[in-house]
């Protein structure tokens, strides 16, 4: 890491990395710490939020779109005190980032930028936001939070 990121980061844990624990043998299955530790290495402050350990709801989207979006909306609303909500799974990313526009206003208008873990690490390694696939609007919001 070449750059300290003065940001408040909420993390959403990738359930398939540590559950079922008897198969993965990785991290704590109910209070996972690995991702919090990685994010802390960037100099960011990892913040707690009520829905931290809740499922993102992306697999629910397949069975019931409204239910999946409601899960995502609640997670985004719960993490609203953070500058960033960071995910580490393609499915979480799909729901929390790509489907965010389908959620009702509170989630859409929340200022919290959603990034996926490698993008955050890329920023801490001094890479440009555009090279990391971070939109110009998100990059501006991140820069403002760091200012």
Partner 1 sequence: VSEERLKELLKHCTQCGLCREVCIVERLGAHSITSFLCGEDEYSSWLCSSCWRCQEVCPQGVDIHTIMILKRREQEPPAGHETNLVNIMRLGYALPVDESVNESRGAHGLEPVQLVPHQWLEILLQE
82 binds partner 1 (CB under 8 A): no
CA distance 9 to 88: 13
Segment holding 133, helix H or strand E: none
130 binds partner 1 (CB under 8 A): no
74 binds partner 1 (CB under 8 A): yes
User: Exactly one of 10, 35, 46, 60 binds partner 1 (CB under 8 A); which one?
Assistant: 60
Instruction: State the nearest-atom distance from the C-beta of 74 to partner 1, in Å.
Output: 8
b/e code 86-119 from CB counts within 10 Å (16+ = b): bbbbebbbbbbbebbebbeeebeebebbbbbbeb
Q: Which stretch binds partner 1 (CB under 8 A): 67-75, 99-107, 110-118, 139-147?
A: 67-75
Q: What 3-state class would DSSP assign to 141?
A: helix
1 binds partner 1 (CB under 8 A): no
Contact footprint for partner 1 (CB under 8 A) = 15, 19-21, 29-30, 53-55, 57-65, 67, 70-71, 74
């Amino acid at each position: 890491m070449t750059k300290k990121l003065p940001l408040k980061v909420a993390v959403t844990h990738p359930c398939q990395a540590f559950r079922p624990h008897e198969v993965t043998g990785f991290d704590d299955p109910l209070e996972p710490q690995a991702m919090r530790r990685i994010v802390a290495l960037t100099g960011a402050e990892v913040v707690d939020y009520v829905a931290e350990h809740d499922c993102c709801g992306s697999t629910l989207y397949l069975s019931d779109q409204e239910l999946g979006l409601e899960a995502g909306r609640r997670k985004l609303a719960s993490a609203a005190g953070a500058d960033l909500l960071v995910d580490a799974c393609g499915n979480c990313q799909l729901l929390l980032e790509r489907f965010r526009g389908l959620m009702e206003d509170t989630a859409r208008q929340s200022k919290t930028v959603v990034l996926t873990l490698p993008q955050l690490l890329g920023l801490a390694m001094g890479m440009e936001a555009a090279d990391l696939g971070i939109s110009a609007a998100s990059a501006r919001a991140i820069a403002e939070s760091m200012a």
